[in-house]
């Protein structure tokens, strides 16, 4: 097990990619605090699976758009397991809407969950890392859309683009205490967030045509990258983005 004795927090950990990350971190020996926003049953089921297999997991409800909630989330992880080593900012929302119809509420909500939430969770984790000493890792689940424009999804792209610069900037500021911060940029992963595309055969076929490895990714593909970035094997990696996208970012057309 690669993360024995480590303590992790995963936001939005009850569904999709977050659930896959929680399961993998726990399987590698980490004690995981699993934040959920809306699916308590799913969160409890994952935590029960982990504890019945001999692992450590607790469930905490927190809305990452609320600064007090993310501070409480980190505090509860430390209270239960005595320290913090890994923060995974996974929670995210996406409300594709043509630019002319985007409302102030849509802007505020997506920026608050996708960017502000990650910022203040990182700040709370950073304070704990300094207090305990010894470094730490912050892993943000960004998107290929931190770099790749997407028509009709301007707010999501702005939020993930913001996350890109946040990581690059903070990596400089956090390095002095051996705290690393890295983004993972998933491509198309089979989860509820993009069910509309994946359930539409024509849209799914068009998407597959732009993925050199010609398959939709799984939460496990992202979780594998999280585990590697959380271990000392990635101790020289900070301030960058690892795209886990089957080659979507470098798609250059088909023969």
Ligand X SMILES: NC(=O)c1ccc[n+]([C@@H]2O[C@H](COP(=O)([O-])OP(=O)(O)OC[C@H]3O[C@@H](n4cnc5c(N)ncnc54)[C@H](O)[C@@H]3O)[C@@H](O)[C@H]2O)c1
Instruction: Figure out which of the listed residues 9, 16, 78, 241 binds ligand X, where binding follows CB under 6 A.
Output: 16
156 is catalytic: yes
Token pair of 24 as six digits: 């993998």
Q: Is 12 in the site for ligand X (CB under 6 A)?
A: yes
In the DSSP assignment, the letter for residue 54 is T
User: Out of 81, 156, 236, 251, which one is annotated catalytic?
Assistant: 156
Question: What is the sign of the dihedral through the CA atoms of 60, 63, 65 and 69?
Answer: negative
Task: Tell me the three-class secondary structure of 72-108, residue by residue.
Answer: HHHHHHHHHHCCCCEEEECCCCCCCCCHHHCCHHHHH
Query: CB under 6 A: which stretch of 13-21, 172-180, 203-211, 232-240 binds ligand X?
Result: 13-21
- Cβ atoms of 189 and 246 closer than 8 Å: no
The residue range among 128-136, 165-173, 191-199, 207-215 that interacts with ligand X, by the rule CB under 6 A, is 191-199
- In angstroms, the CA 97 to CA 119 distance is 24
Instruction: Specify the pairing of strand 179-186 against strand 241-244.
Output: parallel
Residue among 3, 10, 14, 73 that touches ligand X (CB under 6 A): 14
**Minimum CB distance to ligand X, residue 222 (Å):** 7
The sheet carrying 241-244 orders its strands as 56-61, 31-36, 7-10, 86-89, 136-141, 179-186, 241-244
The mark string for 212-251 relative to ligand X (x by CB under 6 A, - otherwise) is: ----------------------------------------
Q: Interface with ligand X includes 37 (CB under 6 A)?
A: yes
* Interface positions, 81-110, toward ligand X (CB under 6 A): 90-94
Name the residues that contact ligand X, by CB under 6 A: 11-12, 14-18, 35, 37-38, 63-65, 90-94, 113, 141, 143, 186, 188-189, 191-194
Which of the residues are catalytic?
156
């Amino acid at each position: 097990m690669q993360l024995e004795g480590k303590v992790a927090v995963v936001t939005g950990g009850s569904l999709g990619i977050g659930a896959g990350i929680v399961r993998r971190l726990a399987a590698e020996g980490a004690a995981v605090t699993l934040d959920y926003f809306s699916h308590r049953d799913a969160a409890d089921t994952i935590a029960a699976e982990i504890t019945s297999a001999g692992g450590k997991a607790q469930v905490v409800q927190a809305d990452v758009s609320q600064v007090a909630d993310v501070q409480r989330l980190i505090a509860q992880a430390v209270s239960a397991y005595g320290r913090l080593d890994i923060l995974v900012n996974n929670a995210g929302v996406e409300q594709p809407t043509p630019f002319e119809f985007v409302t102030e509420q849509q802007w505020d909500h997506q920026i608050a969950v996708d960017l502000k939430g990650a910022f203040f969770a990182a700040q709370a984790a950073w304070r704990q890392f300094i207090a305990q000493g010894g470094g730490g890792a912050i892993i943000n689940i960004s998107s290929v859309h931190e770099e790749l424009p997407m028509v009709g999804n301007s707010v999501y792209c702005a939020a993930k683009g913001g996350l890109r610069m946040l990581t690059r900037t903070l990596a400089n500021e956090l390095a002095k205490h051996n705290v690393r911060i890295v983004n993972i940029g998933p491509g198309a992963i089979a989860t509820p967030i993009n069910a509309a595309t994946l359930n539409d055969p024509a849209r799914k076929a068009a998407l597959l045509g732009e993925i050199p490895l010609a398959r939709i990714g799984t939460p496990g593909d992202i979780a594998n990258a999280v585990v590697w970035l959380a271990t000392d094997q990635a101790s020289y990696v900070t301030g960058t983005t690892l795209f886990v996208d089957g080659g979507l970012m470098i798609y250059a057309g088909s023969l």
